[in-house]
A = this chain, B = another copy of it.
Amino acid sequence: MAKVLIIGAGGVGNVVAHKCAMVPEVFEEITLASRTVSKCEAIAAEVKKRTGRDIATHQVDADNVPELVALINNVKPDLVINVALPYQDLPIMDACLETKVHYLDTANYEPKDEAKFEYSWQWAYQDKFKEAGITAILGCGFDPGVTGVYTSYAAKHHFDEIHYLDIVDCNAGDHGKAFATNFNPEINIREITQKGKYWEDGKWVEIDAMSIHKPIDYPNIGERESYLLYHEELESLVKNYPTIKRARFWMTFGQEYIKHLTVLQNVGMTSIEPIKFQGQDIVPLEFLKALLPEPSSLGENYVGETSIGCQIKGIKDGKEKTYYVWNNCKHQHAWDEVGGQGVAYTTGVPAMLGAKMFLEGKWDNGAGVFNVEQFNPDPFMEEIGKYGLPWEETENVEFPHEY
C-alpha cells in the first residue's frame, strides 16, 4: 500500500489519476498537483464519479524546486509520477533528490529554448540518485515506455541478438478537427519539426525532417504513410542493446496534418525563437499552442484506433528470425473508461503500471536512474493487457518497409 503524487493535470495526468484510482490495493493515497489547480479538481471530480475514490489536489509550479520540495514534504509520497512538461523533469528530479523520494516520468527532459531530445541531462543524475538511495524510472509511457519493455521482452525470450529494430507508431484516429495535436502541441511540434535521426552501424544518421517516409501496414488498420522521426527511446535502446545494427522510429501523419504543419512552419508559427510583440517576448509556438484545441478535449468524438509496436530482426539459435509485438488501442475505449483519448491513454496506463511494478517490488534494480528496458519485462507484460493495453505478437513475418 503506497502513496503517490502525480504532477501534471493534462490528458495523461487524467489517465494516470483514473488508472491509479482503479488499483486501490496498490495506490492507497493519490495526490494530483498542477500549476492550475482547477484542472486537478476537474479530474478529481471525474475520478470520484467513475471510481468512488477521493484524490487530493494541490497547486504547484513544477518549475520551482522549493515549491516542489514543500509539496513533497507535505504529501510524503512513496513515488512521484511526473506527467508535467518535459521542461520540468529536472526541477522535479531535483526536488525528489532533496526529499529522497522515488521518481518516474514518461518523456525525457528538454531545455525550453532548444529542441533537443536526449537523455544526457537525466542520465547525469545517476550518481546523485544512487547516493540518495532512490530510483528514477525514465520514459515509462508507451513510446518511450512500452516500446522499451517490448524490446527487452523480445531480447529475453525471442532473440540471442537483436540486429534491427523498427518502432512503428500509427494513429489512425479521427478527432474531427482540421488541426489538433494529440499531446501538448508545443512538445509535439518541437518533436516533429526537428531533424530526423536513426541509428545505423554504430552512429546516428541525421536526415531532413519528414524526408524519409513509406507506407507501413498496421494490424487491423492497413497501410499508412509513416515518417522516420527521431524518438528518444532509440537512444537508450541502442545503448542497452549494443548488438543493434539499425534502430529507427516511424510515425504516421495524415496529409492534412502535414499540410498544416508545413504552412505553420513556413510562416514561422512553429519557431521557439521569441519575437518582440506589444513590448513582450513571445514565442510563436507558445502562441500557436494557445490557439489550438486542448489535447484533452479531443476524446469525446475521437474515433479509430492507434497501433504501436516493435518490428525486430535478429538471431535466435544461430538462425535469422523476425518478431513483431504491438498494441492496438481504440480512442473510444479511452473515452469510455477514463474520459480521455487514445494517445493520452496509451501513455498514462504504462505510467501507472510502471509505478505499480516499482511499488510492488517487481521492478527493483536498486538505487539509480534507469530506462524501462533495464527492468524485468515479464511482470509488466503479464499485467499490461488487464489494464487496457493488451499486446499481440507474430514471428517470422516479412517487414516490407525494409529498404
Q: CB within 8 Å of B: which residues of A?
A: 178-179, 259-260, 263-264, 266-269, 275, 277-278, 280, 282, 284, 287-288, 290-292
Contact = CB atoms under 8 A, between A and B. Distances in A.
Contact of A263 (B259, B268, B290): B259
Contacts of A178: 266-267
A178 B261 CA distance: 13
User: How many copies of the shown chain assemble into the complex?
Assistant: 2
B264 A277 contact: no
Contact of A278 (B263, B282, B284): B282
A96 to B, nearest CB: 30
A179 B266 contact: yes
A262 to B, nearest CB: 8
Contacts of A288: 267, 269
Contacts of A275: 290-291
Contact of A291 (B179, B267, B278, B292): B267
Given A282-B277, A282-B278, A287-B287, A260 B266 contact: yes
B269 A269 contact: yes
A263 B291 CA distance: 13
Nearest to A277: B290
Contacts of A179: 263, 266-267
Which 6 residue pairs are nearest across A and B when measured between Cβ atoms?
A178-B266, A263-B263, A268-B291, A260-B263, A277-B290, A179-B266
Contacts of A287: 277, 282, 284, 287
